Amino acid sequence: MNAFIMPFLPELILLLGGLVIFVITLGDSLEKRARTAAITIALALLAASVLCFGQEAVLFDGAYRIDAFSQLLKLIISAGFLAIVILGGNLPDIRPAIKPEYHLFLTLSMTGLVMLVSCVDIITLVIALELSAFPLYFLVAMRREREGQRIQMESAIKYIMFGIAANGVMLFGFSYLYGLTGTTSLPEMMVKLQPVMHTPIAIVGLTLAFCGIFYKLAIFPFHFWTPDVYQGSSNETASLIASLPKVGGVAVLVRLASLASPDNTLIPILLSALAIVSMFYGNLIALAQKDLKRLLGFSGIAHAGYALVGFVAFNQAGFASALYYITGYMVMVIACFVVICRVSRDGSNVAISELAGLHRRSPLLALTLIVGLFALAGLPPFVGFMGKLGLLTTALARGHLALVIIAVLNAAIAIYYYLRVIREAVFGDDGGDQTPIVLDRSTQALCVLLIVAIIVLGVAPSPIINAISGSLAGLNLPLPPAAVY
């Protein structure tokens, strides 16, 4: 294959795939074909990401950077993409006429995410962010309207309005940062920003820009869209929104944070405050939830708070543990959503009480749920425990004892509501309803893979942590430009 194309293979595959699905959507009722195409694309993307692992190049005058970091994240994202496509199944809760389009927008959103992790320039960053976000707005709105379920449009409107407002704020911040430094390239910008860090205009610019990223990660108080969007969107869409964009958000935050000077003492305090509030807020409100998706929404806020703990340490080990944690979170939350998608009757939301007797209706789903929730709760030997351990030790190594104690306390609170769900699934009274849930082959395979991933990532974390640390080491080194340009 052409050596010039090679580094960009994943992006090209997604673009091409998007085109193919677009052509498919032109025909009538071709949802099967669209799904097959989407799965093929996901598989091809995964293969390409593996193939392109270790490639290095820059594009567009240094605005787009293929390095170990981006390639690793592409691999993670493409694995998540495959899982999302499979768990979508035949999209029970999407309006029948537009099911092929669902796959189109899904693929486009993935294109945005895959590009996002390579962006080192605010222009490309904004483009990629928007590209990953716009299709999501549509996906939320595509849910079927029916009796007793008239919330999808509300949630789509809230999502898009809030999202665009957040992006507008971030853009405005970027424009100030550009004005101050005269460059759009992030590495250059950070160097030039150092001496003028304390001028009012820099402070306003940085504040506005960070608000946009915190919105993406759903950190308190920028999180208010999360539970509503989870609840209002179809189960498949919610599983996407809950998992992959967060990985992208953390990746961007790592790119930004790794450029800042590590001896800045203000940022750790600020991040700890945000992390603490997010953890408490998410965990405590989740205690009182009845809708499973909404519960996961609130718990997602808490988990974003945990991920921030890694940034508090503000060194490479901290970033590595944050990335490891969010990767684990992606797997765990997808495992929970697989269960939601399959338990749900014709795609409606799942109340916790509906899980009753799940272990009789489908032992595999019950096991997936139990493993996923125990992992989210941070119990060993699952990845959630290892991730938390990593975050806490890196924070501890930098002397943030109080933060660590609060994080452990929060983990203890969270156990309570996760266990409530498990109790319902295992011990709950199902009122005699024992209709077995039939799973197709791909779902079975997905469940097993997710369980294995949660356990393996938790039991043998060294390979992935080493890979992440290795990729972080080369984050700011100069790279050769792609030869074509």
Partner 1 sequence: MTPVTQALLVLLLPLVSAAVIALFLRRQGGIATLVSVSVAAALAAVSLNLILGGERFTASMEWLRFGNFAVSLGFKFDDLAAVMLFVVSFVGFFIHLFSTGYMREDAARGRYFGGLSIFMFAMLGIVFADNLFMMFIFWELVGFSSYLLIGHWHERQSASDAAKKAFIVNRVGDFGFLLGILMCYWVHGTVNLTELGATHDGGGIIYSRLIPLLLFCGAIGKSAMMPLQVWLPDAMEGPTPVSALIHAATMVAAGIYMLCRIEVLMVPDALQVIMWVGTTTALYAALCAIVQRDIKKVLAYSTLSQLGYMVAAFGLGSSSFELNGVAIAAGVGAAMFHLTTHAFFKALLFLGSGSVIHGCQHEQDIFKMGGLKSKMPLTFWTFTIGVAAIIGMPGFAGFFSKDAILLLALQKNPAVFAILALTAVLTAFYMVRMWKLVFFGATRSEHAAHAHESGFSMTLPLIVLAVLSAVGGYSGIFGRIAGSVAYLVPHAEGADHTTILIVSLAVMIVGAGSAWWFYKSDATDTLEAKSRGLFRGLTVLKESFDVLYDYYVAKVQQRFAMLLNFLEQIFLAGLIIRGCAGLVGLMGLGGRALHVGSLHAYVYWFLFGLVLLWAYAAGVF
Partner 2 sequence: MNISLNHYLLLSALLFAIGFFGVLLRKNTLVIYMCLELMLTASTLALVAFSRYNGTMDGNVFVFFILTVAAAEVAVGLAIIVALFRLRQTAQVDELNALKH
Q: Which is nearer to partner 2, 164 or 267 (CB)?
A: 164
Question: DSSP secondary-structure letter at 58?
Answer: E
Which residues in this chain contact partner 1 in the complex, by CB under 8 A? Answer: 157-158, 161-162, 165-166, 169, 200, 203-204, 206-208, 210-211, 214-215, 220-222, 224-225, 228, 266, 270, 284-285, 287-288, 315-318, 320-321, 363, 374, 379-381, 385-386, 389-390, 392-394, 396-397, 401, 404-405, 408-409, 412, 415-416, 419, 423, 426-427, 461-462, 465
Choose among partner 2, partner 1, none what residue 155 binds, the Cβ cut-off being 5 to 8 Å by kind.
Answer: partner 2
Q: 256 and 314 in contact (C-beta within 8 Å)?
A: no
Q: How far apart are CA 334 and CA 339, in angstroms?
A: 9
Q: Which is nearer to partner 1, 427 or 485 (CB)?
A: 427
How many residues touch partner 2 under the rule CB under 8 A: the total is 38
Q: Which is nearer to partner 2, 122 or 254 (CB)?
A: 122
Shortest CB 35 distance to partner 2, Å: 23
Mention every residue, 6+ apart, whose C-beta is less than 8 A from residue 207. 173
Tokens of 242: 């809950």
Tokens of 267: 């940022």
Helix H or strand E encompassing 134:
helix 122-141
Return the closest-CA partner of residue 166 out of 231, 217, 120, 229. 217
Q: Which is nearer to partner 1, 138 or 210 (CB)?
A: 210
Choose among partner 2, partner 1, none what residue 27 binds, the Cβ cut-off being 5 to 8 Å by kind.
Answer: none
Shortest CB 472 distance to partner 1, Å: 11
Q: Which is nearer to partner 1, 9 or 411 (CB)?
A: 411
Q: Which is nearer to partner 1, 166 or 475 (CB)?
A: 166
Residue 12's SS3 state is helix
Is 15 a binder of partner 2 (CB under 8 A)?
A: no
Is 157 a binder of partner 2 (CB under 8 A)?
A: yes
Q: Is the alpha carbon torsion for 345, 292, 452, 78 positive or negative?
A: positive
State the binding string over 42-81 for partner 2 (x if CB under 8 A, else -). Answer: ----------------------------------------
Q: 417 and 402 in contact (C-beta within 8 Å)?
A: no
Is 146 a binder of partner 2 (CB under 8 A)?
A: no
CA–CA distances in Å: residue 47 to residues 257, 331, 410, 418, 448: 30, 19, 39, 35, 20
Residues paired with 65 in a beta bridge:
58
Q: Which is nearer to partner 1, 14 or 180 (CB)?
A: 180
Return the closest-CA partner of residue 212 out of 259, 246, 173. 173
Mention every residue, 6+ apart, whose C-beta is less than 8 A from residue 429. 356, 357
Residue 146's SS3 state is strand
Q: How far apart are CA 29 and CA 38, in angstroms?
A: 15
Packing angle of the helix pair 383-397, 316-343 (nearest 10 deg): 150
Choose among partner 1, partner 2, none what residue 153 binds, the Cβ cut-off being 5 to 8 Å by kind.
Answer: partner 2
Q: Which is nearer to partner 2, 227 or 300 (CB)?
A: 227
Q: Taking CB under 8 A as the criterion, which residues in 168-207 touch partner 2?
A: 168-169, 171-172, 174-176, 178-179, 182-184
Is 228 a binder of partner 2 (CB under 8 A)?
A: yes
Is 122 a binder of partner 2 (CB under 8 A)?
A: yes
For residue 273, with 0-12 CB atoms within 10 Å meaning exposed, 13-18 middle and 19 or more buried, which class applies?
Answer: middle
Choose among partner 2, partner 1, none what residue 336 binds, the Cβ cut-off being 5 to 8 Å by kind.
Answer: none
Q: Which is nearer to partner 2, 107 or 184 (CB)?
A: 184
For residue 360, with 0-12 CB atoms within 10 Å meaning exposed, 13-18 middle and 19 or more buried, which class applies?
Answer: middle
Binding site for partner 2 (CB under 8 A): 122-123, 126-127, 130, 134, 137-138, 141, 145, 150-151, 153-158, 160-161, 164-165, 168-169, 171-172, 174-176, 178-179, 182-184, 227-228, 231-232
